Protein backbone atom coordinates (compact mmCIF):
# COMPACT_ATOMS: atom_id res chain seq x y z
CA UNK A 1 0.00 0.00 0.00
CA UNK A 2 2.20 2.84 -1.27
CA UNK A 3 0.87 6.34 -0.52
CA UNK A 4 1.31 9.18 -3.00
CA UNK A 5 4.60 11.06 -2.88
CA UNK A 6 2.99 14.22 -1.51
CA UNK A 7 1.58 13.44 1.92
CA UNK A 8 0.36 15.67 4.75
CA UNK A 9 2.41 15.50 7.92
CA UNK A 10 1.02 12.74 10.16
CA UNK A 11 -0.24 13.86 13.58
CA UNK A 12 2.11 13.52 16.53
CA UNK A 13 1.92 10.20 18.31
CA UNK A 14 -0.04 10.06 21.54
CA UNK A 15 2.26 10.15 24.58
CA UNK A 16 2.85 6.83 26.34
CA UNK A 17 0.37 6.39 29.15
CA UNK A 18 -1.77 9.20 27.75
CA UNK A 19 -5.53 9.13 27.32
CA UNK A 20 -7.06 6.10 25.67
CA UNK A 21 -8.76 6.02 22.31
CA UNK A 22 -11.97 8.01 22.07
CA UNK A 23 -14.71 5.43 21.59
CA UNK A 24 -18.04 6.10 19.93
CA UNK A 25 -21.06 4.07 18.85
CA UNK A 26 -23.13 4.51 15.71
CA UNK A 27 -26.78 5.47 16.01
CA UNK A 28 -27.44 3.22 13.01
CA UNK A 29 -27.09 0.41 15.55
CA UNK A 30 -29.57 2.03 17.93
CA UNK A 31 -32.47 2.77 15.61
CA UNK A 32 -35.04 1.33 18.04
CA UNK A 33 -34.19 4.09 20.52
CA UNK A 34 -35.16 7.74 20.41
CA UNK A 35 -32.10 9.86 19.70
CA UNK A 36 -32.18 11.45 23.15
CA UNK A 37 -32.34 8.03 24.79
CA UNK A 38 -29.52 6.70 22.60
CA UNK A 39 -27.25 9.61 23.51
CA UNK A 40 -27.98 9.19 27.22
CA UNK A 41 -27.25 5.47 26.99
CA UNK A 42 -23.86 6.02 25.35
CA UNK A 43 -22.86 8.68 27.85
CA UNK A 44 -23.86 6.43 30.76
CA UNK A 45 -21.80 3.55 29.33
CA UNK A 46 -18.69 5.73 29.15
CA UNK A 47 -18.49 6.43 25.42
CA UNK A 48 -16.72 9.60 24.33
CA UNK A 49 -18.93 10.28 21.35
CA UNK A 50 -21.43 9.14 18.77
CA UNK A 51 -21.54 8.46 15.05
CA UNK A 52 -24.83 10.21 14.26
CA UNK A 53 -26.50 8.90 11.10
CA UNK A 54 -28.97 11.43 9.74
CA UNK A 55 -32.11 9.35 9.28
CA UNK A 56 -35.86 9.57 9.65
CA UNK A 57 -35.70 8.52 13.33
CA UNK A 58 -32.57 10.48 14.27
CA UNK A 59 -32.29 14.16 13.31
CA UNK A 60 -34.22 13.69 10.05
CA UNK A 61 -32.43 15.82 7.45
CA UNK A 62 -35.59 16.18 5.33
CA UNK A 63 -38.07 17.13 8.07
CA UNK A 64 -38.98 20.75 8.90
CA UNK A 65 -37.04 22.90 11.38
CA UNK A 66 -33.73 21.10 10.90
CA UNK A 67 -31.71 24.06 12.20
CA UNK A 68 -33.70 24.25 15.42
CA UNK A 69 -33.53 20.50 15.94
CA UNK A 70 -29.79 20.58 15.29
CA UNK A 71 -29.32 23.29 17.94
CA UNK A 72 -31.24 21.17 20.42
CA UNK A 73 -29.11 18.13 19.61
CA UNK A 74 -25.93 20.18 19.95
CA UNK A 75 -27.02 21.30 23.41
CA UNK A 76 -27.78 17.72 24.39
CA UNK A 77 -24.42 16.47 23.17
CA UNK A 78 -22.67 19.22 25.11
CA UNK A 79 -24.59 18.46 28.29
CA UNK A 80 -23.65 14.79 28.03
CA UNK A 81 -20.02 15.49 27.14
CA UNK A 82 -20.25 13.61 23.84
CA UNK A 83 -18.39 14.49 20.66
CA UNK A 84 -19.90 13.61 17.29
CA UNK A 85 -19.22 12.57 13.73
CA UNK A 86 -22.05 13.03 11.22
CA UNK A 87 -22.70 9.96 9.07
CA UNK A 88 -24.79 9.76 5.91
CA UNK A 89 -25.31 6.03 5.40
CA UNK A 90 -29.04 5.91 6.13
CA UNK A 91 -30.51 3.18 3.94
CA UNK A 92 -33.77 4.73 2.73
CA UNK A 93 -33.63 8.38 3.73
CA UNK A 94 -33.79 9.58 0.09
CA UNK A 95 -35.55 6.72 -1.66
CA UNK A 96 -38.01 4.54 0.30
CA UNK A 97 -37.75 1.73 -2.23
CA UNK A 98 -34.04 1.47 -3.07
CA UNK A 99 -31.36 1.10 -0.45
CA UNK A 100 -28.69 3.83 -0.41
CA UNK A 101 -30.14 5.46 -3.52
CA UNK A 102 -29.80 7.77 -5.26
CA UNK A 103 -26.00 7.79 -5.31
CA UNK A 104 -23.39 10.17 -6.61
CA UNK A 105 -23.06 7.98 -9.72
CA UNK A 106 -26.61 7.94 -11.09
CA UNK A 107 -27.33 8.41 -14.79
CA UNK A 108 -29.89 11.09 -13.95
CA UNK A 109 -28.18 14.38 -12.96
CA UNK A 110 -31.17 15.31 -10.79
CA UNK A 111 -30.80 12.06 -8.87
CA UNK A 112 -27.11 12.78 -8.30
CA UNK A 113 -28.14 16.25 -7.22
CA UNK A 114 -30.40 14.84 -4.51
CA UNK A 115 -27.46 13.01 -2.94
CA UNK A 116 -25.24 16.08 -3.28
CA UNK A 117 -27.91 18.18 -1.57
CA UNK A 118 -28.07 15.70 1.32
CA UNK A 119 -24.30 15.84 1.75
CA UNK A 120 -24.31 19.66 1.68
CA UNK A 121 -27.00 19.61 4.36
CA UNK A 122 -24.92 17.14 6.38
CA UNK A 123 -21.96 19.51 6.23
CA UNK A 124 -24.10 22.34 7.63
CA UNK A 125 -25.44 20.08 10.39
CA UNK A 126 -21.91 18.94 11.23
CA UNK A 127 -20.67 22.51 11.48
CA UNK A 128 -23.55 23.42 13.81
CA UNK A 129 -22.89 20.35 15.97
CA UNK A 130 -19.14 20.94 16.11
CA UNK A 131 -18.57 17.52 14.54
CA UNK A 132 -15.05 16.28 13.88
CA UNK A 133 -15.97 14.84 10.44
CA UNK A 134 -18.74 14.22 7.91
CA UNK A 135 -18.84 10.69 6.52
CA UNK A 136 -19.93 9.80 2.98
CA UNK A 137 -19.54 7.08 0.33
CA UNK A 138 -19.54 6.76 -3.46
CA UNK A 139 -22.35 4.27 -4.11
CA UNK A 140 -22.31 1.35 -6.52
CA UNK A 141 -21.69 1.81 -10.23
CA UNK A 142 -24.99 1.72 -12.18
CA UNK A 143 -25.31 -1.18 -14.62
CA UNK A 144 -23.76 -0.47 -18.01
CA UNK A 145 -21.83 2.62 -16.88
CA UNK A 146 -18.13 2.49 -17.84
CA UNK A 147 -15.69 2.83 -14.97
CA UNK A 148 -14.14 6.02 -16.35
CA UNK A 149 -17.57 7.63 -16.58
CA UNK A 150 -18.39 6.59 -13.03
CA UNK A 151 -15.14 8.06 -11.70
CA UNK A 152 -15.78 11.31 -13.56
CA UNK A 153 -19.27 11.54 -12.06
CA UNK A 154 -17.91 10.87 -8.58
CA UNK A 155 -15.28 13.60 -8.86
CA UNK A 156 -17.78 16.11 -10.24
CA UNK A 157 -20.31 15.26 -7.54
CA UNK A 158 -17.81 15.45 -4.71
CA UNK A 159 -16.25 18.75 -5.74
CA UNK A 160 -18.97 21.06 -4.36
CA UNK A 161 -19.24 19.00 -1.17
CA UNK A 162 -15.48 19.21 -0.58
CA UNK A 163 -15.64 22.98 -1.14
CA UNK A 164 -18.51 23.33 1.33
CA UNK A 165 -16.70 21.23 3.92
CA UNK A 166 -13.58 23.34 3.49
CA UNK A 167 -15.56 26.55 3.96
CA UNK A 168 -17.29 25.13 7.05
CA UNK A 169 -14.04 23.87 8.57
CA UNK A 170 -15.37 20.30 8.84
CA UNK A 171 -13.36 17.49 7.22
CA UNK A 172 -15.22 15.36 4.70
CA UNK A 173 -14.30 11.70 5.21
CA UNK A 174 -15.24 9.33 2.40
CA UNK A 175 -15.46 5.63 3.22
CA UNK A 176 -14.22 2.82 0.97
CA UNK A 177 -17.19 0.46 0.93
CA UNK A 178 -17.03 -3.13 -0.43
CA UNK A 179 -19.01 -3.34 -3.65
CA UNK A 180 -18.98 0.41 -4.28
CA UNK A 181 -17.01 2.24 -6.96
CA UNK A 182 -14.74 3.56 -4.23
CA UNK A 183 -14.12 0.28 -2.43
CA UNK A 184 -10.49 0.32 -1.32
CA UNK A 185 -7.84 2.60 0.10
CA UNK A 186 -6.27 2.71 -3.36
CA UNK A 187 -9.59 3.99 -4.71
CA UNK A 188 -9.57 6.76 -2.09
CA UNK A 189 -6.20 7.92 -3.35
CA UNK A 190 -7.50 7.84 -6.93
CA UNK A 191 -10.35 10.20 -6.02
CA UNK A 192 -8.13 12.41 -3.91
CA UNK A 193 -5.69 12.79 -6.79
CA UNK A 194 -8.48 13.51 -9.26
CA UNK A 195 -9.70 16.35 -7.04
CA UNK A 196 -6.23 17.86 -6.64
CA UNK A 197 -5.49 16.43 -3.17
CA UNK A 198 -7.64 18.92 -1.20
CA UNK A 199 -6.97 19.13 2.52
CA UNK A 200 -10.71 19.03 3.22
CA UNK A 201 -11.04 15.51 1.80
CA UNK A 202 -10.08 12.79 4.23
CA UNK A 203 -10.78 9.13 4.82
CA UNK A 204 -13.25 7.18 6.91
CA UNK A 205 -11.28 4.03 7.68
CA UNK A 206 -13.56 1.09 8.43
CA UNK A 207 -11.26 -1.44 10.08
CA UNK A 208 -13.59 -4.34 9.35
CA UNK A 209 -13.44 -3.51 5.66
CA UNK A 210 -9.65 -3.65 5.90
CA UNK A 211 -9.96 -7.16 7.33
CA UNK A 212 -12.42 -8.08 4.59
CA UNK A 213 -10.61 -7.03 1.44
CA UNK A 214 -7.45 -4.93 1.81
CA UNK A 215 -4.17 -6.65 0.88
CA UNK A 216 -2.51 -5.58 4.13
CA UNK A 217 -3.56 -6.40 7.71
CA UNK A 218 -5.76 -3.79 9.41
CA UNK A 219 -2.97 -2.49 11.66
CA UNK A 220 -0.81 -1.83 8.61
CA UNK A 221 -3.74 -0.08 6.92
CA UNK A 222 -3.97 2.24 9.93
CA UNK A 223 -0.32 3.18 9.67
CA UNK A 224 -0.37 3.62 5.90
CA UNK A 225 -3.42 5.90 5.91
CA UNK A 226 -2.69 7.89 9.07
CA UNK A 227 -2.15 11.23 7.30
CA UNK A 228 -5.63 11.13 5.77
CA UNK A 229 -7.78 9.40 8.39
CA UNK A 230 -10.47 11.70 9.79
CA UNK A 231 -12.93 9.11 11.11
CA UNK A 232 -12.67 5.44 12.11
CA UNK A 233 -15.34 2.75 12.23
CA UNK A 234 -14.77 -0.60 13.92
CA UNK A 235 -16.47 -3.98 14.16
CA UNK A 236 -15.46 -7.59 13.72
CA UNK A 237 -15.37 -9.16 10.24
CA UNK A 238 -14.11 -12.19 8.35
CA UNK A 239 -11.72 -12.21 5.44
CA UNK A 240 -13.63 -12.12 2.18
CA UNK A 241 -17.07 -11.69 3.76
CA UNK A 242 -18.64 -8.24 4.09
CA UNK A 243 -20.70 -8.66 7.23
CA UNK A 244 -20.48 -6.38 10.28
CA UNK A 245 -20.13 -8.69 13.28
CA UNK A 246 -20.11 -8.15 17.05
CA UNK A 247 -16.65 -8.36 18.55
CA UNK A 248 -15.39 -11.90 18.95
CA UNK A 249 -17.50 -13.33 16.13
CA UNK A 250 -15.06 -12.59 13.30
CA UNK A 251 -11.33 -12.90 12.68
CA UNK A 252 -9.91 -9.53 13.68
CA UNK A 253 -7.02 -9.38 16.15
CA UNK A 254 -7.86 -6.14 17.93
CA UNK A 255 -4.95 -5.24 20.24
CA UNK A 256 -2.51 -4.64 17.33
CA UNK A 257 -5.10 -2.51 15.51
CA UNK A 258 -5.85 -0.35 18.53
CA UNK A 259 -2.13 -0.04 19.24
CA UNK A 260 -1.60 1.24 15.68
CA UNK A 261 -4.29 3.90 16.17
CA UNK A 262 -2.51 5.06 19.32
CA UNK A 263 0.91 4.99 17.67
CA UNK A 264 -0.24 7.17 14.79
CA UNK A 265 -1.78 9.73 17.14
CA UNK A 266 -5.35 9.40 15.91
CA UNK A 267 -7.63 11.39 18.24
CA UNK A 268 -10.96 11.28 16.44
CA UNK A 269 -13.72 8.88 17.33
CA UNK A 270 -13.35 5.12 16.92
CA UNK A 271 -17.00 4.36 16.24
CA UNK A 272 -18.53 0.90 16.65
CA UNK A 273 -20.70 0.15 13.61
CA UNK A 274 -23.24 -2.64 14.01
CA UNK A 275 -26.16 -1.45 11.85
CA UNK A 276 -27.93 -4.81 11.73
CA UNK A 277 -28.17 -5.24 15.48
CA UNK A 278 -30.47 -2.49 16.70
CA UNK A 279 -32.76 -5.10 18.23
CA UNK A 280 -30.02 -5.72 20.80
CA UNK A 281 -28.31 -2.35 20.55
CA UNK A 282 -28.08 -1.43 24.26
CA UNK A 283 -26.63 -4.84 25.12
CA UNK A 284 -24.05 -4.69 22.33
CA UNK A 285 -23.13 -1.10 23.12
CA UNK A 286 -22.32 -2.12 26.70
CA UNK A 287 -20.37 -5.23 25.70
CA UNK A 288 -18.52 -3.47 22.86
CA UNK A 289 -17.23 -0.77 25.19
CA UNK A 290 -15.91 -3.36 27.65
CA UNK A 291 -14.33 -5.37 24.83
CA UNK A 292 -12.47 -2.44 23.29
CA UNK A 293 -11.19 -1.11 26.60
CA UNK A 294 -9.91 -4.58 27.47
CA UNK A 295 -8.24 -4.82 24.05
CA UNK A 296 -6.53 -1.49 24.74
CA UNK A 297 -5.22 -2.84 28.02
CA UNK A 298 -3.84 -5.91 26.29
CA UNK A 299 -2.22 -3.75 23.62
CA UNK A 300 -0.55 -1.71 26.38
CA UNK A 301 0.63 -4.90 28.12
CA UNK A 302 2.15 -6.17 24.89
CA UNK A 303 3.90 -2.85 24.29
CA UNK A 304 5.34 -2.96 27.82
CA UNK A 305 6.54 -6.53 27.34
CA UNK A 306 8.17 -5.60 24.03
CA UNK A 307 9.89 -2.58 25.57
CA UNK A 308 11.14 -4.72 28.45
CA UNK A 309 12.46 -7.35 26.05
CA UNK A 310 14.32 -4.71 24.05
CA UNK A 311 15.77 -3.27 27.25
CA UNK A 312 17.03 -6.70 28.26
CA UNK A 313 18.65 -7.15 24.85
CA UNK A 314 20.34 -3.76 25.13
CA UNK A 315 21.59 -4.76 28.57
CA UNK A 316 22.98 -8.01 27.18
CA UNK A 317 20.51 -10.27 28.97
CA UNK A 318 18.91 -13.25 27.28
CA UNK A 319 15.30 -12.61 26.25
CA UNK A 320 12.59 -14.55 28.04
CA UNK A 321 9.62 -16.45 26.64
CA UNK A 322 9.14 -17.11 22.96
CA UNK A 323 10.29 -13.72 21.78
CA UNK A 324 6.79 -12.57 20.89
CA UNK A 325 5.79 -9.74 23.23
CA UNK A 326 2.22 -10.95 22.97
CA UNK A 327 3.21 -14.12 24.84
CA UNK A 328 3.57 -12.11 28.03
CA UNK A 329 0.18 -10.47 27.80
CA UNK A 330 -2.48 -12.06 29.99
CA UNK A 331 -5.28 -13.78 28.18
CA UNK A 332 -3.76 -13.82 24.70
CA UNK A 333 -3.77 -17.60 24.52
CA UNK A 334 -7.56 -17.75 24.88
CA UNK A 335 -8.38 -16.54 21.42
CA UNK A 336 -11.64 -18.25 20.55
CA UNK A 337 -14.02 -15.30 20.61
CA UNK A 338 -17.36 -16.10 22.16
CA UNK A 339 -19.04 -13.01 20.79
CA UNK A 340 -20.70 -10.20 22.70
CA UNK A 341 -24.25 -11.49 22.93
CA UNK A 342 -23.66 -12.56 26.53
CA UNK A 343 -22.30 -9.18 27.48
CA UNK A 344 -18.81 -10.51 28.04
CA UNK A 345 -15.64 -9.07 26.60
CA UNK A 346 -13.88 -12.33 25.83
CA UNK A 347 -12.12 -13.20 22.60
CA UNK A 348 -10.06 -10.14 21.68
CA UNK A 349 -8.99 -11.70 18.44
CA UNK A 350 -10.75 -14.67 16.94
CA UNK A 351 -8.20 -17.46 16.78
CA UNK A 352 -5.59 -15.57 18.77
CA UNK A 353 -4.42 -18.84 20.28
CA UNK A 354 -1.02 -19.55 18.82
CA UNK A 355 -0.14 -15.86 18.80
CA UNK A 356 2.90 -16.53 20.96
CA UNK A 357 4.38 -18.70 18.26
CA UNK A 358 3.71 -16.15 15.55
CA UNK A 359 2.33 -18.81 13.21
CA UNK A 360 -1.11 -19.46 11.85
CA UNK A 361 -2.98 -22.34 13.40
CA UNK A 362 -6.06 -22.77 11.25
CA UNK A 363 -7.92 -21.64 8.16
CA UNK A 364 -9.55 -18.37 7.12
CA UNK A 365 -13.25 -18.10 6.41
CA UNK A 366 -12.34 -17.77 2.76
CA UNK A 367 -10.61 -21.14 2.81
CA UNK A 368 -7.03 -19.95 2.33
CA UNK A 369 -4.41 -21.55 4.48
CA UNK A 370 -3.21 -19.30 7.26
CA UNK A 371 0.34 -20.64 7.12
CA UNK A 372 2.85 -17.88 6.76
CA UNK A 373 0.70 -15.10 8.20
CA UNK A 374 2.54 -12.38 10.00
CA UNK A 375 2.30 -12.41 13.81
CA UNK A 376 -0.83 -10.64 14.94
CA UNK A 377 -2.82 -11.43 11.82
CA UNK A 378 -6.22 -12.96 12.37
CA UNK A 379 -6.26 -16.72 12.73
CA UNK A 380 -8.83 -19.44 13.14
CA UNK A 381 -11.74 -20.71 11.19
CA UNK A 382 -14.84 -18.56 11.08
CA UNK A 383 -17.63 -19.92 13.26
CA UNK A 384 -19.59 -22.50 11.32
CA UNK A 385 -17.08 -22.76 8.47
CA UNK A 386 -15.22 -25.98 7.80
CA UNK A 387 -11.49 -25.76 7.05
CA UNK A 388 -11.01 -25.25 3.35
CA UNK A 389 -14.58 -24.07 2.81
CA UNK A 390 -15.40 -21.11 0.64
CA UNK A 391 -16.37 -17.69 2.01
CA UNK A 392 -18.94 -17.83 4.76
CA UNK A 393 -22.36 -16.46 4.02
CA UNK A 394 -25.58 -15.72 5.82
CA UNK A 395 -28.13 -18.48 6.15
CA UNK A 396 -30.31 -16.59 3.73
CA UNK A 397 -27.59 -16.98 1.12
CA UNK A 398 -25.36 -14.43 -0.64
CA UNK A 399 -26.82 -12.11 -3.21
CA UNK A 400 -25.15 -13.92 -6.05
CA UNK A 401 -21.77 -14.87 -7.37
CA UNK A 402 -19.47 -12.01 -8.23
CA UNK A 403 -16.24 -11.90 -10.12
CA UNK A 404 -12.89 -10.73 -8.85
CA UNK A 405 -10.76 -12.08 -6.04
CA UNK A 406 -9.38 -10.31 -3.02
CA UNK A 407 -5.62 -10.65 -2.87
CA UNK A 408 -3.38 -10.78 0.13
CA UNK A 409 -0.24 -8.80 0.73
CA UNK A 410 3.03 -10.19 2.09
CA UNK A 411 2.27 -12.68 4.83
CA UNK A 412 -1.49 -12.24 4.38
CA UNK A 413 -3.47 -15.03 2.82
CA UNK A 414 -6.23 -14.23 0.38
CA UNK A 415 -9.67 -15.84 0.50
CA UNK A 416 -10.25 -18.48 -2.12
CA UNK A 417 -13.26 -16.73 -3.66
CA UNK A 418 -14.70 -13.29 -4.24
CA UNK A 419 -15.80 -11.04 -1.44
CA UNK A 420 -19.34 -12.04 -0.56
CA UNK A 421 -22.19 -10.47 1.33
CA UNK A 422 -24.10 -12.06 4.16
CA UNK A 423 -27.55 -11.37 2.78
CA UNK A 424 -29.66 -11.78 -0.31
CA UNK A 425 -31.62 -9.89 -2.91
CA UNK A 426 -29.44 -6.78 -3.28
CA UNK A 427 -28.05 -5.81 -6.69
CA UNK A 428 -24.33 -6.22 -6.92
CA UNK A 429 -21.80 -3.51 -7.66
CA UNK A 430 -18.15 -3.81 -8.57
CA UNK A 431 -15.31 -1.51 -7.71
CA UNK A 432 -12.84 -0.49 -10.36
CA UNK A 433 -9.18 0.06 -9.78
CA UNK A 434 -6.55 -2.43 -8.67
CA UNK A 435 -5.75 -2.67 -4.96
CA UNK A 436 -2.04 -2.35 -4.16
CA UNK A 437 -0.36 -5.72 -4.02
CA UNK A 438 -2.67 -7.27 -6.61
CA UNK A 439 -0.27 -8.32 -9.35
CA UNK A 440 -2.97 -9.80 -11.54
CA UNK A 441 -4.83 -6.53 -11.83
CA UNK A 442 -8.11 -8.29 -11.08
CA UNK A 443 -10.59 -5.72 -9.71
CA UNK A 444 -11.93 -6.32 -6.24
CA UNK A 445 -15.66 -6.96 -6.44
CA UNK A 446 -18.47 -7.50 -4.00
CA UNK A 447 -22.17 -7.19 -3.64
CA UNK A 448 -23.03 -4.44 -1.21
CA UNK A 449 -25.33 -5.23 1.65
CA UNK A 450 -23.07 -5.56 4.66
CA UNK A 451 -24.56 -2.58 6.50
Query: pLDDT tens across 370-382, in order?
Result: 333 333 333 333 3
Looking at residue 428, its pLDDT comes to 36
Looking at residue 99, its pLDDT comes to 95
Q: What is the pTM of this model?
A: 0.76
Looking at residue 151, its pLDDT comes to 98
Where do the structural domains in the chain lie, given as residue ranges? 22-296
- Please count the other Cβ atoms lying within 10 Å of the Cβ belonging to residue 222: 25
Q: What is the mean pLDDT of residues 259-273?
A: 97
Is it true that the peptide bond before 102 is cis, omega within 30 degrees of 0?
yes
Report pLDDT digits (tens) over 13-35: 333 445 689 999 999 999 999 99
Over 50: is that where the pLDDT of 268 sits? yes
Contacts of 437 (CB under 8 A, 6+ apart): 1, 215, 216, 407, 408, 409, 410
Q: What is the mean pLDDT of residues 92-108?
A: 97
pLDDT band at 420 (very low <50, low <70, confident <90, very high): confident
| Residue 420 parent element (H or E) | strand 420-421
The average confidence (pLDDT) of the chain is: 78
Looking at residue 109, its pLDDT comes to 98
Over 50: is that where the pLDDT of 441 sits? no
Contacts of 59 (CB under 8 A, 6+ apart): 35, 52, 66, 69, 70, 73, 125
Report pLDDT digits (tens) over 2-13: 444 444 433 333
Q: What is the mean pLDDT of residues 147-160?
A: 98
Percent of the chain with pLDDT over 70: 66
Query: What do you get for the CA distance between the two ends of the chain, in Å?
Result: 26
Q: Which of 3.40.50.10490, 1.10.10.60, 2.60.40.10, 3.20.20.150 is the CATH number of 22-296?
A: 3.20.20.150
Q: Taking each helix axis from N to C terminus, what angle separates 218-225 and 254-263, rounded to the nearest 10 degrees?
A: 10
Over 60: is that where the pLDDT of 92 sits? yes
Report pLDDT digits (tens) over 201-218: 999 999 999 999 999 999
What number of residues does the chain have? 451
pLDDT band at 344 (very low <50, low <70, confident <90, very high): very low
Amino acid sequence: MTPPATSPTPPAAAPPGGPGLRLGYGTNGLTDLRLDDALALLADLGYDGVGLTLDHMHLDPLAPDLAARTRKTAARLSALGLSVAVETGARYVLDPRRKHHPTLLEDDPDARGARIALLLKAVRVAADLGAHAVHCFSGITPPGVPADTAWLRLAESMAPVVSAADAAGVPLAIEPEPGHLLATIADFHRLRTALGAPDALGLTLDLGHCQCLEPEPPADCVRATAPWVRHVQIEDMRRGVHEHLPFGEGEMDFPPVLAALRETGYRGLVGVELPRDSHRGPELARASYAFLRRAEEEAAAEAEAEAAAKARVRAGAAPTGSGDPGAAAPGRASGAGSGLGSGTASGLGSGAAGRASGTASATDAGGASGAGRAPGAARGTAPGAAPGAGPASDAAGPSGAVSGAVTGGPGRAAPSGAVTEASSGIPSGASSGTPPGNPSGTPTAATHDGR
